[in-house]
Homo-oligomer: A and B are copies of this chain.
Amino acid sequence: MRLVELVEKIGISYSGEDCEIVGINTLRDAKEDELSFLDNPKYLKDLGQTKAAAVLVSKKYESAVPKDSIALVDDEPYLKLAFASKFFAPEVMKKEGNEPKFGKNCNIGSNVSFGKDVVVGDRVTIMPGCFIGDDVEIGDDTVIYPNVTIYHQCKVGSKCIIHSGTVIGSDGYGFAHTKDGKHIKLYQLGNVVIEDDVEIGSNCSIDRGALKSTVIKEGVKIDNLVHIAHNCEIGEHSLITGQVGISGSTKLGRNVVMGGQSGTAGHLEIGPFATIAARGGVTKSIPGNRVYAGFPLMEHKKWLKLNAMLSKFLRKSDTIVK
């Protein structure tokens, strides 16, 4: 889309040349034909280095936009980004494209629906009622149980197992907010990448990245009813048990263990070989190789001690009451 046309649609004016904009990206990764934005001042250092064709910024940071980029100045750059994102979303179901391409000895059940340009490896089983969206790739020997949904552009590795009801690639929960309290969708333009040997239980939701990929690395095993939000990265061989929720952009190192019903806030890093006990709630980035528990989170042995203290406190008060 031409920049002149885009700014008109989102209600911005600028001075400068027109150019073709083909997508949206972060300041750091934007190419010369992409739109970017500065929402959080912590990315100001990236602004000076960006190659983006144009950058949505507030007046305050206009001067920091590199001379080869066009500054699109607005009071609410993130809101304008949301309006713009809609124009870079692919059509919901591609009308044109190739029929799915299957490897050898695949086993495809009844009532499976495929989008366009799907590529399926050898010896893949896709059971009845699944939906495999446009441009999805599925590696060899993977088994997909009934009624799984894989959204467009997601990639599933080899020797994976995905259980029924699981949804791969639904939109991340991303909205910009207007001054009068409405929420404008940031179209989610990334995808989900699932590496090899991953098993995912039933009725899980793994959201696509906002701009890039949500990544589930090799050997990860996920239990049922797990929520993994957009832009997360789950390290190799991590164990994510039932009903865990991982908020957006959080990264787990390798071999992290998350106990049942535990959760994390967003934008955190959890070090490799960390264990979060059941119900633990991670609110800060934490080093690996330790066991944590509680909400707010603390080291597991502290949590045990805190509970022992509270218990003692309670017993003492019983005595006093009597």
Q: Which residues of A contact B (CB under 8 A)?
A: 92-93, 107, 109-111, 113, 125, 127-131, 133, 143, 145-147, 149, 151, 161, 163-167, 170-171, 173, 175, 181-183, 185, 199, 201-205, 207, 219, 221, 223-225, 227, 229, 237, 239, 241-243, 245, 247, 254-255, 260-261, 263, 265, 278-279, 281, 295-296, 298, 302, 305-307, 309-311, 313-314, 317
Contact = CB atoms under 8 A, between A and B. Distances in A.
- Of A130, A224, A243, A307, chain B has the most CB atoms within 10 Å of the CB of A224
A162 to B, nearest CB: 10
Contacts of A245: 225, 242-243, 260-261
Contacts of A313: 309
B241 A173 contact: yes
5 nearest A-B pairs in the assembled complex, by CB-CB distance: A113-B128, A131-B146, A205-B224, A149-B164, A170-B202
B302 A314 contact: yes
A305 B148 CA distance: 45
Nearest to A237: B181
Given A93-B107, A181-B237, A306-B310, 7 more contacts: A131-B147, A170-B202, A185-B199, A207-B224, A224-B229, A242-B245, A298-B311
B243 A243 contact: yes
Contacts of A239: 175, 183
A83 B224 CA distance: 23
Given A163-B171, A281-B279, A237 B182 contact: yes
Which interface residue of A130, A146, A151, A310 has the most chain B CB atoms within 10 A? A146
A79 to B, nearest CB: 15
Contacts of A263: 243, 260-261, 278-279
